[in-house]
Amino acid sequence: MSKLKELEQLFTEGKITRREFIGRVSALGLMAAVSPALLSTKAKAATPKRGGRVILGSAGGSTTDSMDPGTLAHTMPQAINQTIRSNLVEVNYKGEPIPELAESWEASPDAVKWVFKLHQGVEFHNGKTMDADDVVYSFNEHRGEDTKSAAKGVVEPIKDIKADGKNTVIFTLAEANADFPFIASDYHIAIVPKGTKGKEYEKGVGTGPFILQAWEPGVRFFGTRNPNYFKSGRPYFDEVEFIGIADTNARTNALMTGQIDVMNRCEPKTFDRLEKAPNIQALKLEGARHYTIPMLTTIKPYDNNDVRLGLKYAIDREQMIKQVLRGYGYVGNDHPIPRNNQYFAKELPQRKYDPEKAKFHLKKAGMLDHTFNLHAADAAFPGAVDASVLIQESASKAGIKIKVVREPDDGYWENVWIKKEWVQCYWSGRPTADWMFSIAYAADANWNDTLWKHDKFNELLKGARAELDQKKRREMYVECQRIVSDEGATPVPAFALQLSAASKKLAFENPAANWEFDGLRLPERWWLA
């Protein structure tokens, strides 16, 4: 039966077509066991309906949230931002960049100069027509000396932005980047009217599918359909409401009793029960979120690759998936590229728990007597402390001594991460291999949390960024993954699935997993069945 479940999953996620699904299930002789609802919702899916209200119960909201695109710290404000504002580029469920406010774009052959043509006649909620100056302004909010934007590092590669007339924006990059459109899809870089500053951001004027009517940080957002939205037919709902619900049980109860229509971050312990609930569609999606255990290569003995490899072999990944993620995840191969990425290196053998090899490498480094301090707090990811204890256990079977140092959740990113020698960490992942490597593995990256410098890797990364030939590019990224996996300082033991659930009242096609809530765009993409 688990095979059937898997097929159903692939089908709901749109990984296989209806025809394929029926074919493969028939082949198993299990057609009678398929829930008729599964096929019928899908059949309805073809014709989105207008009207109604969707209520999202969201974790990841705080009363200190702000609508300043530079400081969107949590999922709830991020999703609200994408509900009222648009970007130049959208990323679809396949992970491809598609036009949004930009109608089209073109790169110079060396991928340094990028020309974006804007959609014409798009109006902000306040009636102002969106033009190239607004786009330039919105990008500049994240650049320069005085910016406090969390996206400063993302737009750093941009050397110059200028408007060419009302409908064209020209970007000149410091160096070639074939993936530049993805950067323009970053949720921080939503397009706002020129001159928006500080407090005015809270009014939420954008070009997005819904218009802000009420917004109380961490508590509630209410928006109504933007009648002048530039994407024809969209959005389908008349109204959208977000309710901040921090407690997982409260979110689940609210969904079960129909007070909300969708929830994010389901509890893995009880997810199988949601899957069986009659009025609920439980979604588990494969995104790019992964857990890492970076080591600072500037501190002895982590400068020695034998130490790093030995510790990588000492981690029992399978057990971590089973116990910490309750099975809702898959093992990582010590690099940050998820298996659904087009450049994922299938050819690399999966690193497994191997006490013998672990011992061998640490003996070679002369470090069998050393006690390794592993710093952890659940701020890194839920279950990080348990995961550390598991690692301590599995390593002790190889004769390796690890001491788990519990750190406070408060100030974890400031005082522990990139400060202590070996720590627990997570990454929500990025849409491209280049982006992920560039922010956390490149020698000059802002968040290179291992301070790892590998000349060959850095050269390859730079080369791949500018390479427009897909085949060559793939080879380069595979090599990058091999180097990070074998010589990097970041064990990547696990990728986590994204667990969410929705009422059967709602319909959708192919939910994206790049961010929560269908790539933060659920209010625009879903409709009432």
Partner 1 sequence: MSGLRGLVIRRILMGLVTMFVISLLIFVGVEALPGDLATAILGQEATPETVAAFRKELKLDLPPHVRYIAWLGDFMKGDLGTSLANKRPVAELISWRFANTIFLAASAAVLAVPLSILLGILAALYRNSLFDKTISMVTLSTISFPEFFVAYILIALLSVQLIIFPSISNINDQMSFAQKIYSIVLPCLTLTLVVMAHMMRQTRAAIINILASPFIEMARLKGIKRMRVIVLHAFPNALSPVINVVAINLAYLIVGVVIVEVVFVYPGLGQLLVDSVSKRDIPVVQASGLIFAAVYVSLNLLADVASILTNPRMRNPK
Residues lying near partner 1 in the complex (CB under 8 A) are found at: 62-68, 71, 73, 145-153, 198-199, 202, 216-220, 243-247, 249-250, 253-254, 256-257, 259-260, 408, 410-411, 413-415, 417, 425, 446-447
What minimum distance in Å lies between the beta carbon of 505 and partner 1? Answer: 17
Phi, psi (deg, nearest 5) at residue 428: -80, -5
Distance in Å, CB of 389 to partner 1, minimum: 23
Q: Name which of 218 and 301 has its Cβ closer to partner 1.
A: 218
d(CA 178, CA 434): 9
How far CA 115 is from CA of 20, 120, 138, 141, 161, in Å, comes to: 40, 15, 16, 20, 10
Amino acid in the structure at residue 186: D
Residue closer to partner 1 by CB (options 367, 387) is: 387
Please, where are the H alpha helices in 111-260?
A: 132-140, 152-155, 180-183, 248-256
Which of 494, 524, 125 lies closest to 320, judged by CA? 494
Interatomic CA distance for residues 244 and 339, integer angstroms: 32
Using DSSP, state whether 251 is helix, strand or coil.
helix
Query: 451-469: buried (b, 16+ CB within 10 Å) or exposed (e) per residue?
Result: bbebeebbebbbebbbbee
Closest distance of CB 308 from partner 1, Å: 22
* Residue among 356 and 410 whose Cβ is closer to partner 1: 410
Nearer to partner 1 among residue 60 and residue 523 (C-beta): 60
Interatomic CA distance for residues 264 and 272, integer angstroms = 15
Q: Smallest gap, in angstroms, from Cβ of residue 65 to partner 1?
A: 7
Q: How many CB atoms lie under 10 A from the CB of residue 213?
A: 13
As given in the structure block, the two tokens for residue 365 are 């480094």
Shortest reach from residue 322's CB to partner 1, in Å: 27
For partner 1, give the closer residue by CB, 476 or 494: 494
In which element (H, E) is residue 496 found?
strand 494-503
Task: Give me the least distance between CB of 186 and partner 1, in Å please.
Answer: 11
Least spacing, CB of residue 410 vs partner 1, in Å: 6
Closest CB to partner 1 among 217 and 511?
217
d(Cα 503, Cα 505) in Å, to the nearest integer?
5
> Is the dihedral angle over the CA atoms 480, 155, 126, 198 positive or is it negative?
positive
- Please, which residue, 328 or 413, has the CB nearer to partner 1? 413
Measured from the CB atom, is 2 or 257 closer to partner 1? 257
Minimum distance of partner 1 from residue 313's CB (angstroms): 27
Q: How many other CB atoms are found less than 10 A from the CB of residue 174?
A: 11
Of 34 and 256, CB closest to partner 1: 256
Smallest separation, CB 57 to partner 1 (Å): 8
